[in-house]
Amino acid sequence: LRPPTVIGQFHTLFFGSIRMFFLGVLGFAVYGNEALHFSCDPDKREVNLFCYNQFRPITPQVFWALQLVIVLVPGAFFHLYAACKSIKQEDILQKSSYTGFYIFSVFLRIVLEVVAFWLQIQLFGFKVDAIYMCDVGALDKKFNITRCMVPEHFEKTIFLIAMYTFTVITVILCVAEIFEISCRRLGILKTQ
């Protein structure tokens, strides 16, 4: 069962193909070796691991993979419901209950994307600095703050901005899809 709108179909293509490809291929290239090349002064394994865990409480690849899965859940529930009820694609925009359920699933995607956007800001910010100042006081060291070098910080900043952009585009597509459905239901646009 395809989404009932052109925008919904484009969203599926955009979300499913481009965003997942970008994350899977480029995300691994940019973030895949980050922990191995994260180095602090003094360059000791325990200090590097401690500071890396402080710098990245969750790795960006894991966060974005979770985001993709969670955002897919509302649509998956709708499509599972439609498959169990043998709902045809054209019926989704004809019957108010199906339309309402579908709009609710799109609205839920918007909410989940906005929450993920906010969490991404809290976890990663908008820029990755070349130097991370790590508080190593918990290691019972003579020093409390140490400098750590973040590998490929510029590439990571570009990738962060790209992931924010994908989230914004997805939200815009979801809002446009709700608008398209509303226009079809009001008769402003003809149903295909």
Which residues touch 53 (CB under 8 Å, ≥6 apart)? none
DSSP state of 187: T
The overall average pLDDT reported for the chain is 88
55 compared with 1, residue with greater pLDDT: 55
Size of the chain, expressed as the number of residues it contains: 192
Residue 141 in this model has a pLDDT that exceeds 70: no
Where do the domains of the chain lie, and which CATH numbers do they carry?
Answer: 6-28+41-182 (1.20.1440.80)
Its pTM stands at 0.85
Confidence of residue 5 (pLDDT cuts 50, 70, 90): confident
Structure tokens of 150? 């973040």
Q: Region of 12 please: left (phi>0), alpha (psi -120 to 50) or beta.
A: alpha
pLDDT digits (tens, 9 = 90+) for 101-126: 999 999 999 999 999 999 999 999 99
Q: Which of 114, 133, 129 is nearest to 41 (CA)?
A: 133
Q: What is the pLDDT of residue 116?
A: 95
pLDDT digits (tens, 9 = 90+) for 28-73: 888 888 888 899 988 888 889 999 999 999 989 899 989 988 998 9
Q: What is the pLDDT of residue 126?
A: 94
